Structure 1
Amino acid sequence: MARIVVLGGTGYAGRHIVSEAVSRGHEVVSVSRSAPSNPVEGAQNVQGSVLDLASLGDVFDGADAVVSALSPRGDMENSVLDALGGLVEKLSGTETRVGVVGGAGGSLIAPGGPRLFDQGFPEEYKHEAQVGIDSLALLEQTDDSLDWFFIHPAEVFGPWAEGERTGHYRDGGDVIVRDADGKSFISGGDFAVAVIDEIEQGNHHRERFTVGY
């Protein structure tokens, strides 16, 4: 059993990650700015700001993994990188793994590039995609003492396309995963399966990977 802390645990990706981790018997702490309206049974809920990690007390003590599922929306629109920078500073040199949920935009469309972001990416999603790209760059610049992984969901991923948990997914390395029809999709449940599998199995150390069907 691992102790897993999920930042943004009440958001779309975060809640799925919390639920999957609890279902596997892990000790799970969900951190969010507001109290969850529909908390995941079996998870501990901590209310506080990720921009003030000291205010969260001992929530990170003994954590095997901390997953950032923060979205650059609302009052966090321009603050996700600050939060991630603070987290990296706090956990560098510890044995705690850092996992970061990114977006599809930074995925490569073929081995060696280019990125999906550079191929006529929708304007309304560019800010969020850029935050993901910058988050990966921040992790890549960290000292080797920090063990991190960065996970790109498929192109279609979100509450508007929930899908079902099947327990299956494909790992595309740094290339976006598409099915035989060219569709790139992952359900919230199976994205969470990939995240918890990575925490349990440790297949990616200081590197990113993509998931999809």
Structure 2
Amino acid sequence: MHIVLLASTGRAGRTILTELVSRGHQVTAVARDLGKLPADLPETVKIVRDDLGSADRIAEIIAGSDAVVSAFGPPRDDPRFTSDESYTDLLPDTVKRIITAVQKAKAPRLIVVGGAGSLEFSPGVTVLDSGHWPKPFIPIARSHVKAFAALRASDINWTYFSPPILIDLGDRTGKFRLGGDNLIKDEQGKSWVSFEDYAIALVDELEKPVHERARFTIGY
């Protein structure tokens, strides 16, 4: 498959890129700072510099692809990330441009690396409203909710992949559980996964679609 990976240099983007390459897919890796990409990428990876600021330009990049994956998120090293929702709203604004680009290019599919805040923590209560969500990350969670709403309102073939509450670099175990709208917790009540296992599940979904025009989630 030819996959266009938008924002391919963050933790999610790089692990997804590694997983795609390991399975032999042709990848167009799009990044604002190409210096953050691995230096030893194979010939199956095409590199494109872009900041995702133009829907027309995104449409040019993704034309002819089999699927698009967006791992975009506002840079976390900006102090506004934990205090200013107008800053984290770069996320839904960018997702809306990507949706427009997918429409223009007639791309068959878009998978978005999502957020956990809109998952159901308990019946009728989202993670964001449960009291278990860290206060500094409320702005980005609210922005993820807006991005998810934009996807649901669109007419494209979208998939929104929510991580659990905790996700970090770790081991590629291949052992995890998948779900729909409900937060997944382990036997100790912890909701977590590694980026490496998240990447496995995302590429599995690309190869064998199960959650088209739907959200799914992951956890141990």
Listed one character per residue, the Cα deviations across residues 41-93 of structure 1 (whole Å, up to 9, x for unaligned) are 22222111101243457321211111111112349733222221111112127
Match of 1:186 among 176, 179, 193: 193
Q: Once the 2 structures are TM-superposed, how far is the Cα of residue 147 of structure 1 from its aligned partner?
A: 0.6
- Taking the aligned partners of 2:162 and 2:129, their CA distance within structure 1 comes to 16
Match of 2:88 among 68, 77, 89: 77
Q: Percent identity, aligned pairs only?
A: 35
Is contact 2:59–2:101 with CA below 8 Å preserved after alignment?
no
- Taking the aligned partners of 2:11 and 2:27, their CA distance within structure 1 comes to 16
Aligned partner of residue 96 in structure 1, secondary structure: coil
Aligned position for 2:208? 201
- In structure 2, runs of 5+ residues without a counterpart are 81-86
Aligned position for 1:50? 52
Query: In the alignment, is residue 156 of structure 1 matched against residue 163 of structure 2?
Result: no
Aligned position for 2:129? 118
- Taking the aligned partners of 2:23 and 2:158, their CA distance within structure 1 comes to 21
Is contact 1:156–1:186 with CA below 8 Å preserved after alignment?
yes
User: 1:1-213 maps to which residues of 2 (within 5 A)?
Assistant: 2-39=1-38, 41-42=41-42, 43-55=45-57, 58-73=60-75, 74=78, 77-92=88-103, 94-110=106-122, 112-120=123-131, 121-143=133-155, 146-158=156-168, 162-213=169-220
Higher strand share: 2
- Taking the aligned partners of 1:57 and 1:106, their CA distance within structure 2 comes to 28
Listed one character per residue, the Cα deviations across residues 13-41 of structure 1 (whole Å, up to 9, x for unaligned) are 01111110111010111111111334262
The one-letter amino acid paired with 2:126 is: R
Aligned partner of residue 178 in structure 1, secondary structure: coil
Q: TM-score, normalised by structure 1?
A: 0.90
Q: Once the 2 structures are TM-superposed, how far is the Cα of residue 95 of structure 1 from its aligned partner?
A: 4.4
- In structure 1, runs of 5+ residues without a counterpart are none
Q: How many residues align?
A: 206
